[in-house]
Structure 1
Amino acid sequence: MIVTLYGAHGRDFPGPVPVAELIRLLGAAGVDAPSVRSAVSRLKRRGLLVPARTEAGAAAYALSGDARQLLDDGDRRVYGAPAAGEGWVLAVFSVPESERARRHVLRSTLSGLGFGTAAPGVWLAPAGLYDETRHTLERIGCAGYVDLFRGEHLGFAATAEAVARWWDLPALAKLYEAFLDEHEGVLRAWEGRPVADPRLAYRDHLLAVDSWRHLPYADPGLPRELLPVDWPGVRAFEVFRALDGLLRGAAAGYVRAAGG
């Protein structure tokens, strides 16, 4: 949720964000203070948050350079249409047995980026994810183990059949359906009436972004023509985009007012 908050609003803060402010803002979305402090510590250890002080001397945190790159890459996924680019980007890696932990990190990272598995050590994703993949592998120190290629699928099975092997499409559909179950009713409740409660708008917006932001990584923009008919991802994206459009301004106003 802290990553969600920084991704949605944190880069607009004029300086480091005080810990007390993070606690207040996350509290409005139902997160208790100990959980916020624990999450801040984890993000600090991962190098995503950097300790700082406000002008008044209060303990605060700023985004690291790596965190800003991560959020910039995430913006294109979370708020934009699927990455453009024909064909596929392939990641082929080989890690010595003596570095099995590194192999696990690589697999987890590629899976987290939305790559599917064509064969052991051969992972692929839509070609538009090349830049983000390169940034991520460099950031985690694994670029030296991976070769990246661009290519197209030439057979022998139909590409739609192959995609159904490379990704677990039924599991992806369930994720989209869960998002719709949780947030489509929220959209209906906001539609057609003024956004008169900024705190409620902020809460509903933050929860929607937090639920949605994982989905474009599970489904990395697979071409629509390769997916089943009535794919729920289409409707889920429409609901998220509508909620973001309705509530983002009021949510940002609440964050600014709380910061003041």
Structure 2
Amino acid sequence: MINVSEQHAPRSLIVTLYGAYGRFAPGPMPVSELIRLLAAVGVDAPSVRSSVSRLKRRGLLVPARTAAGAAGYALSPEARQLLDDGDLRVYATEPPSEDDGWVLAVFSVPESERQKRHVLRSRLAGLGFGTAAPGVWIAPARLYREARHSLERLGLDPYVDLFRGGHLGFAPTAEAVERWWDLAAIAKEHEAFLDRHAAVLRDWERREDTPAEEAYRDYLLALDSWRHLPYVDPGLPAALLPADWPGVRSAAVFRALHERLRDAGAVFAGMDQTPGATA
């Protein structure tokens, strides 16, 4: 059985499972089915139950009975919104353009509420924003909607003004981007993904068959690794990035695994009619 590493924590895998398949189920996912599907990627039943409890406390999963009366869990409206917003990043296929512009988040938090300042910084960083100046954060404009949803959900919108526009100087935008983001650290994340999953893709490319359980396992692990990357890397235009940017290769590997394995994996997950299979 596969050992679940730090990159594949049980709680993260459960969220990934719901994002890939569970949210398209006609009703709540039974606990027994969660245990079966997580066992396929090396997670034991006690870890599933404790992780589900944590996700329930965070308001992401809600207990519900299946049509047959079995205990199960459904996504909360908040969790569905998070996954829907995330789809635009995780499954993006259109390359970003310099013409898209930028979104700026400018915030001011009173000293008496400085804890919210920390939460704001953490949330903007988690969304992929870079730091243009103290209290001024920047991201590609296509992240505006998700940023707005996230700030509203956390009750942080009263402290933030959002602007959209272009970079007019004085430094060339490519040089400014190197100040706003740690591109070397982002590149290492892409290289780590390639180290874990490029060989998996090569193995599948040598095969003609696609067994459902193997496809499910390799797809879920790849998606669990990949879905965090578009939040580390905000998706900058190629013209603003170093030559031979590893993000191009990692995106190609994930897309190829998605196209090869997702639908076969859905059969093992018991959801072979899952909508959005060609996302």
Q: Taking structure 2 as the reference length, what is the TM-score of the superposition?
A: 0.89
SS at match of 1:90: strand
- Cα gap change, 1:198 to 1:90, in 2 (>3 Å): same
Q: What pairs up with 1:221-236 in 2 under 5 angstroms? A: 221-236=235-250
CA separation in 2, counterparts of 1:117 and 1:188?
Answer: 38
Q: Are 1:143 and 2:146 an aligned pair?
A: no
Unaligned runs of at least 5 residues, structure 1: none
Residue identity matched to 1:201:
A
Alpha-carbon offset, residue 83 of structure 1: 5.9
How many residues in Structure 1 have an aligned counterpart in Structure 2?
258
> Contact conserved, 2:219 with 2:258, CA < 8 A, in 1?
yes
Contact persistence 1:183–1:208 (CA under 8 A) = yes
| Equivalent pair of 1:83/1:129 in contact (CA under 8 Å) | no
Point out where structure 2 has 5 or more consecutive residues left out of the alignment.
1-12, 273-279
Say yes or no: does 1:20 pair with 2:32: yes
Go from structure 1 to structure 2 and tell me whether the alpha carbon gap of 1:91 and 1:30 turns closer, same or farther (over 3 Å shift).
Answer: same
The aligned counterpart of 2:102 is 88
User: Contact 2:101–2:164 (CA<8 Å) still a contact in 1?
Assistant: yes
> In structure 2, the residue corresponding to 1:56 is in which secondary structure?
coil
More divergent stretch after superposition (240-249 vs 30-39): 30-39
Alignment of 1:58-73 (within 5 A): 58-73=70-85
Q: Is the 8 A contact 1:199 1:251 kept in 2?
A: yes
Bigger CA drift: 245-254 or 47-56?
47-56
Cα displacement (A) at 1:136: 1.0
Quick one: distance in 2 between partners of 1:94 and 1:189? 51
1:56 and 2:68 aligned:
yes
What fraction of aligned residue pairs are identical, expressed as a percent?
72
Preserved CA contact (<8 Å) 1:18 1:60: yes
Moved over 3 A (4+): 82-85
Local SS of the residue matching 2:167: coil
**Counterpart position of 2:147:** 133
Does structure 2 conserve the Cα–Cα contact (< 8 Å) formed by 1:78 and 1:216?
yes
Q: Which residue of 1 aligns with 2:49?
A: 37
* Letter of the structure 1 residue corresponding to residue 23 of structure 2: R
Tell me, in whole angstroms, the C-alpha distance in 2 between the residues paired with 1:96 and 1:183.
Answer: 45
Shift of residue 257, structure 1, vs aligned partner: 6.8
Distance 1:97 1:37 in 2: 40
Between stretches 187-196 and 235-244, larger displacement belongs to 187-196
Question: 1 CA distance for matches of 2:49 and 2:134?
Answer: 39
**How many Å separate the matches in 2 of 1:142 and 1:177?**
34
CA distance in 2, matches of 1:33, 1:154: 55
Q: What do residues 14-42 of structure 1 show as CA deviations (whole Å, max 9, x unaligned)?
A: 10011121111111011122222222122
Shift of 1:145: 1.1
Letter in 2 for 1:71: L
2:103 maps to a residue whose letter is V
Q: Which amino acid aligns with 1:204?
A: D
- 1:26 is matched by which residue type in structure 2? L
Question: Which secondary structure does the structure 2 equivalent of 1:177 belong to?
Answer: helix
Corresponding residue number in structure 1 for 2:276:
none
Partner AA of 2:124 in structure 1: L
CA distance in 2 between partners of 1:6 and 1:202 (Å)? 13
Of residues 194-203 and 158-167 in structure 1, the stretch that sits farther from structure 2 once superposed is 194-203
Matched, 1:11 2:14: no
- Asked whether the equivalents of residues 195 and 201 of structure 1 are also in contact (C-alpha less than 8 Å), the reply is no
Partner residue of 2:171 out of 132, 157, 168? 157
